[in-house]
Chain A
């Protein structure tokens, strides 16, 4: 299990890398993107993902972000325990008062589970979730 890391000050990338999946924050001039890769299917992924979400959320609040792209295009699968980390993220956004930002999910049409999972997330919080 790895903790979120900030590699160095010049590349403020927050990232985690597990045996089955990874997640990373990419800050670019055109906007911020959080990418999830491979398969989130371990027993309790929240123990790794929630601290990552905490760090990303703090970064976005400090940056005054209005939205962030959440890239699922290389995410093969996410189990319900991992899915809860995205609910956790939404709950943190909802608690952020006037600093709230939106999660703009980018999905892959080839990974059909993503459509229904993101549909459910958008119903959970229409104000915080947008499906691209």
Chain B
């Protein structure tokens, strides 16, 4: 008996565990962009996925406290889905703060309006305050957070074949 190769593309996984100095974030972003190009030839999501991974990693590293940061990327062409998970250790306070920020971002139905509000409100002389809203609008990914033990996982997911971003007329704040 012979087995015909399946014509349905299977999900593709990438898993990385890092005890990361900050300097590796650029290398990870470049690798993810290249990986997505190979995993989904013909699709145009690689730069958006790489941006999302970069922002999630930069959020995770300061909280990791020397412990590992885990990245899982799943690309499923058949299901038209892409999923990024980044997990890191976090205290109760850090989890609560992160969840609060995420809830505020997700409360706005329009990702662009949420992003524009974050731009207007983010402190200009210190880091933080923009990355999650940027992922939601620019990478066209939904965001959620879960907790297991002392680790939190931020999940970003969306369509692999997302439509090109368009904005209509009077959208500024």
Chains A and B are bound partners: yes
Chain B residues numbered 115-135 whose CB sits less than 8 Å from any CB in chain A: 115-116, 119-120, 122, 124-131, 134
Asked if B7 CB lies within 8 Å of chain A CBs, one says no
Taking a contact as CB atoms under 8 Å apart, the answer to whether A46 and B126 are in contact is yes
CA distance A117 to B51 in the complex (A): 10
Q: For the complex, count residues of B whose C-beta is within 8 A of A.
A: 35
Across-interface contacts of B22 in A (CB, < 8 A): 42-43
A contacts with B: majority SS: helix
Please state if A84 and B138 are interface contacts (CB–CB under 8 Å): no
Residues on A with C-beta less than 8 A from B25 are: 41
Given A41-B25, A79-B54, A116-B48, also A91-B124 (CB < 8 A)? yes
Could you say which residues of chain A place their CB within 8 Å of the CB of B165?
A: 115-116, 119
Q: Does A22 reach chain B (CB closer than 8 Å)?
A: no
Task: Say whether A112 contacts B26, CB under 8 Å.
Answer: no
Find out whether the CB atom of A80 lies under 8 angstroms from the CB atom of B29.
no
Assess whether B47 is interfacial by the CB under 8 Å rule.
yes
Q: Which residue of A lies closest to B61 (CB)?
A: A43
Which of B44, B54, B173 is the one whose CB lies under 8 Å from A112? Answer: B44
Does B167 have its Cβ within 8 Å of any Cβ on chain A? yes
B48 to A125, Cβ gap below 8 A? no
Q: How far is the CB of A117 from chain B (nearest CB, A)?
A: 6
20 A-B pairs in the complex with CB atoms less than 8 angstroms apart: A20-B26, A41-B25, A41-B29, A41-B54, A43-B127, A50-B124, A77-B51, A80-B58, A80-B130, A81-B131, A83-B130, A84-B130, A111-B47, A112-B47, A113-B51, A117-B134, A120-B112, A120-B116, A120-B138, A123-B112
